[in-house]
């Protein structure tokens, strides 16, 4: 290092007599100035208020614009009630289906090593990348009157699109990944040693799953089911394409919102919307509680 460039040492530094008056609480090295910090916080709050909070608030304000009576009147309308019933029915079918799939797929993917595993993992997420409208369209192309199976279905007098089965199928499609994608990373993280231990202790395979695996993933499972349910009840685009919009028959709540809105029954539309917004809020609260209370049990590598 003898040939190192001469170091400009001990250059006369500008005087620094202010050492005596130190600030009361000096800023940490990795912090911004108070002004910058406040500015950033204000911008973030402003942005979220404008784009997120305001739309949420508007739903309830608009729903109650003409008083509580008008608001409640919407729900005594039989078409509204039918829409609520259908929404619950669709969720009641599609959520358990996707839950069973999610658990099975997670078991196979997370606990075993096999060829094509990463491809399968990608395919599980595929429905998230597909536009809701396209998700609906594929079922029309498959089961519609001009679809691949249309003539056969017609011959057997089976109606899938523009009927409840189509709505269920479209909903299952768009909510397909929710449970699996919560479980897979978590179960991968947890490995197989606990299950192997249970097996060596004489537990059967199914018992091992029930007593060892399931308790380890129950919060993540609940989390996935929660999100799956919210999307199942709220799905609009895919369901809209396959529903046929028959009032009282193939109208789910989101579709009913659209119909009322297009008929200029704004209070009615926002009243039904407020119910869905309430569901969204409940989901968010439950999600936050789960994350806050059981964050570790949900696993690290969680995306949405």
C-beta closer to another protein: residue 219 or 235: 235
| Tokens describing residue 17 | 């007599």
Find the part of the chain contacting another protein (CB under 8 A) among 70-78, 152-160, 193-201, 214-222.
193-201
* Residue linked to tokens 């090593």: 113
CB of 218 to another protein, least distance (A): 18
CB 143 within 8 A of CB 166: yes
**Residue 68: CA atoms inside 13 Å, Cβ hemisphere, count?**
0
C-beta of 92 vs 284, nearer to another protein: 284
Q: Is 9 in the site for another protein (CB under 8 A)?
A: yes
- Cβ proximity to another protein: between 219 and 234 the closer is 234
Mark 128-157 with x for binding to another protein (rule: CB under 8 A) and - for no binding.
-xxxxxx--xxxxxx-x-xxx---------
Binding mask 87-126 for another protein (x = CB under 8 A): -------------xx--xx-xxx-xxxxx----x-xxx-x
Yes or no: say if 225 and 290 are a contact pair by the CB < 8 Å rule: no
Stretch binding another protein (CB under 8 A), from 68-76, 77-85, 217-225, 236-244: 236-244
Name 261's Cβ contacts closer than 8 Å, sequence gap at least 6. 269
The helix/strand/coil state of 286 is: helix
- Taking CB under 8 A as the rule, does residue 191 contact another protein? no
Q: Which is nearer to another protein, 82 or 99 (CB)?
A: 99
Using CB under 8 A as the binding rule, whether residue 241 contacts another protein is answered as yes
Indicate whether 227 belongs to the interface with another protein (CB under 8 A): yes
Q: How far apart are CA 128 and CA 56, in angstroms?
A: 24
Query: Which DSSP helix (H) or strand (E) runs through 161?
Result: none
What's the CA angle centered on 225, arms 224 and 226, to 5 degrees?
90
Which 57-86 residues touch another protein, going by CB under 8 A?
58-59, 62
How far apart are the two ends of the chain, measured CA to CA in Å?
53
Block residue for tokens 């199914």: 206
Q: Is 173 in the site for another protein (CB under 8 A)?
A: yes
Cβ 248 to another protein shortest distance, Å: 18
State the angle between helix axes of 117-129 and 78-111 in degrees (0 to 180), rounded to the nearest 10.
160
How many residues in the shown chain lie near another protein by CB under 8 A? 118
247 is a contact residue toward another protein (CB under 8 A): no
Q: By CB under 8 A, is residue 184 in contact with another protein?
A: no
Could you give the C-alpha distances from 123 to 82, 117, 236, in angstroms and in order? 35, 10, 23
Given a contact cutoff of 8 angstroms between Cβ atoms, the answer to whether 107 and 187 are in contact is: yes
Tell whether residue 223 is a contact of another protein (CB under 8 A): no
Residue of the chain from 82, 269, 271, 298 that contacts another protein (CB under 8 A): 269
């Amino acid at each position: 290092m003898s040939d190192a460039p001469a170091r400009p040492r001990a250059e006369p530094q500008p005087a620094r007599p202010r050492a005596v008056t130190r600030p009361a609480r000096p800023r940490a090295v990795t912090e911004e100035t108070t002004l910058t910090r406040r500015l950033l916080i204000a911008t973030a709050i402003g942005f979220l208020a404008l784009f997120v909070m305001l739309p949420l608030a508007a739903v309830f304000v608009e729903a109650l614009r003409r008083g509580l009576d008008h608001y409640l009147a919407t729900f005594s309308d039989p078409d509204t009630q039918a829409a609520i019933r259908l929404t619950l029915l669709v969720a009641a079918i599609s959520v358990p289906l996707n839950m069973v799939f999610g658990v099975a797929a997670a078991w196979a993917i997370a606990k075993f090593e096999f060829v094509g595993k990463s491809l399968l993992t990608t395919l599980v997420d595929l429905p998230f990348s597909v536009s809701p409208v396209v998700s609906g369209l594929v079922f029309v192309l498959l089961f519609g009157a001009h679809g691949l199976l249309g003539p056969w279905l017609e011959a057997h007098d089976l109606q899938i699109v523009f009927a409840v089965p189509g709505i269920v199928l479209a909903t299952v499609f768009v909510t397909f990944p929710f449970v699996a994608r919560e479980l897979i990373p978590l179960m991968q993280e947890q490995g197989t040693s606990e299950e192997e231990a249970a097996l060596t202790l004489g537990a059967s395979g199914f018992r091992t799953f029930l007593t060892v695996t399931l308790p380890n993933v129950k919060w993540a499972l609940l989390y996935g089911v929660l999100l799956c349910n919210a999307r199942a009840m709220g799905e609009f685009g895919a369901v809209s394409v396959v529903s046929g919009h028959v009032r009282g028959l193939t109208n789910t709540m989101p579709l009913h919102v659209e119909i009322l809105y297009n008929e200029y029954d704004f209070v009615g539309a926002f009243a039904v919307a407020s119910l869905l917004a309430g569901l969204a809020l409940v989901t968010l609260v439950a999600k936050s509680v789960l994350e806050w209370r059981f964050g570790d049990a949900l696993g690290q590598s969680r995306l949405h």
